[in-house]
Structure 1
Amino acid sequence: MTERTVTIDIQKDLFGANEEAAAQNAELFSQNDIQAFDIMGSVGTGKTQLIESLCEKLKGRYKILMVAGDLATTIDADRVAAHGVDTVQINTGTACHLDARMLRVALTDINLTEYDLLFIENVGNLICPAGYSLGVKKKIVVVSVTEGPYMVRKHPLTIKRADMIVINKIDLAEAIGFDVDILVKDVREVDTSIPVFTISSKTGEGLDDMISALEL
């Protein structure tokens, strides 16, 4: 009798399977002429309000679908739906991120030919989601002035993997004595080429420049 021991790199296997699923998603979006965006950020950074603001500005020109990722509840999806936008909720239970397979399953019964844009609000944190591609056009990382001056420095890998950095809630910077340039400088130290936008999703300041960079 021969005994054989095989060591499997579970992380490599998981990431490999996800990359394959992400490629399938990208092909699906391309076939249906959908531009998809993965919006990542910690809880409370203003991801949902940003998506609400984007929808308000864009829904007159584009048909929009929003996918909300959360451990539980439909709170964020309900907020976006109130703007007349179709939504899909993914409740992950204990998973701290969305992955490409989850997204594909969630979209199975959706007629994607009806939509032009897909905004995906990932589960709220800046660690797990960065490692899982979804097959989107751009990965957008949102940080906010209310999170303090160290968010970028503490998450360099997430910043490097992003296609765009959005610094949100700049309308509160003066009131809390926060220097927004600190976060911009920290992003530049991680990657000098990544686009950075300072915005207020509440007042709309800076939003038009960000939308232009989406290259719709």
Structure 2
Amino acid sequence: MKQIIIDKSILKNNDKIASKTRQLLNDKKICTINLLGSPGSGKTSLLEKIIVNIKKQYNMAVIEGDLYTVKDAKRIENHNIDVVQLNTNGACHLDASMVEKALTHVNIDNLDFLVIENVGNLVCPASYDLSEDMKVLVMSITEGNDKPLKYPSMFQRSSVIILNKIDIIDFTDFDKDEFYRDIYSLNKDIKVFEVSCRDSEGIDDLSDYFIEKIKEKKRD
């Protein structure tokens, strides 16, 4: 595992760098997702579940974004896939230059699926292009159903929402009908997966979705 310390929180020419990196990833036919969500939404736990299913068929790597620690990267590394830790030293998001640097430590010639797990935040990461094919937002039941309208940009720019911790919905006041009304008012084409990382409900369907996206990338 490589650990990279980022000295600058905001770097110039993000879109220009992202475009260059996207061309590289497209040339290599690597399906890339930007995994977003609040701290505690379950991003890393879900990623661990997905890795188990996908690594059986495809080579994958993870770029792990965090403020300071390497704890999440160590969890991912236990699954015997390539992982690069990006520490932002307090910055609330990853940017394209960070991803570009991380990719120098990944064997992209033997890669099918790249997951960029962003810093836990529902605001800043929505605005930064990381060369991904799609933004995937993890949201947990415990965060409350009001988050879409409070953080509309994140929901408008994401292609997929993973609604996690669905197993405990009966113990909360989460209004699922209102949640769906709100997200579709912001993004009528967004796809939603209801999952429980704890009991693996919905994980196979989610993994199959990503596998199909990998196949589509290979056909492009």
TM-score by length of 1: 0.88
Among 187, 202, 209, the residue aligned to 1:206:
202
1:184 aligns with 2:180: yes
User: CA offset at residue 144 of structure 1?
Assistant: 0.8
SS at match of 2:98: helix
Query: What RMSD over aligned residues (CA atoms) do the two structures have, in Å?
Result: 1.5
Aligned to 1:5: none
CA distance in 2: counterparts of 1:181 and 1:54, whole angstroms = 27
SS in 2 for 1:204: coil
Structure having the higher Rg: 1
Give the fraction of aligned pairs with identical amino acids, expressed as a percent. Answer: 39
More displaced, 105-114 or 59-68?
Answer: 105-114
Q: Give distance in 2, aligned partners of 1:74 and 1:29.
A: 25
Q: Which letter does structure 1 place at the counterpart of 2:129?
A: S
The 5-angstrom pairing of residues 63-82 of structure 1 reads 63-82=59-78
User: Take 2:173 and 2:150, find their aligned partners in 1: how far apart are those partners?
Assistant: 21
Give 1:175's match in structure 2, choosing from 171, 176, 189.
171
Say which SS state the counterpart of residue 167 (structure 1) adopts: strand
User: Are 2:92 and 2:125, in contact at CA under 8 Å, matched by a contact in 1?
Assistant: yes
Letter in 2 for 1:168: N
- Is 1:22 aligned to 2:18, yes or no? yes
- What's the CA shift for 1:182? 3.0
Query: 2-side partners of 1:137 and 1:24: how far apart?
Result: 14
User: CA offset at residue 177 of structure 1?
Assistant: 4.2
SS of equivalent to 1:197: strand
TM-score by length of 2: 0.87
The range that moved more, 123-132 or 203-212, is 203-212
Which runs of no fewer than 5 residues in structure 2 stay unpaired? 1-10, 215-220
Q: Which residue of 2 aligns with 1:150?
A: 146
Contact 2:18 2:129 (8 Å CA) reproduced: yes
State whether residues 53 and 207 of structure 2, in contact with CA within 8 Å, keep that contact through their aligned partners in structure 1.
Answer: no
Q: How do 1:21-170 residues align onto structure 2 when only pairs under 5 Å count?
A: 21-170=17-166
Give the drift of 1:137: 1.2
Aligned amino acid, residue 206 of structure 1:
G
- Counterpart-to-counterpart distance in 1, 2:80 and 2:105: 20
Q: Residue by residue, what CA displacement relative to the aligned partner does 1:48-102 show, whole Å, maximum 9, x if unpaired?
A: 0111011011111011101110011111111111122221000000211001111
Number of residue-to-residue matches in the alignment: 202
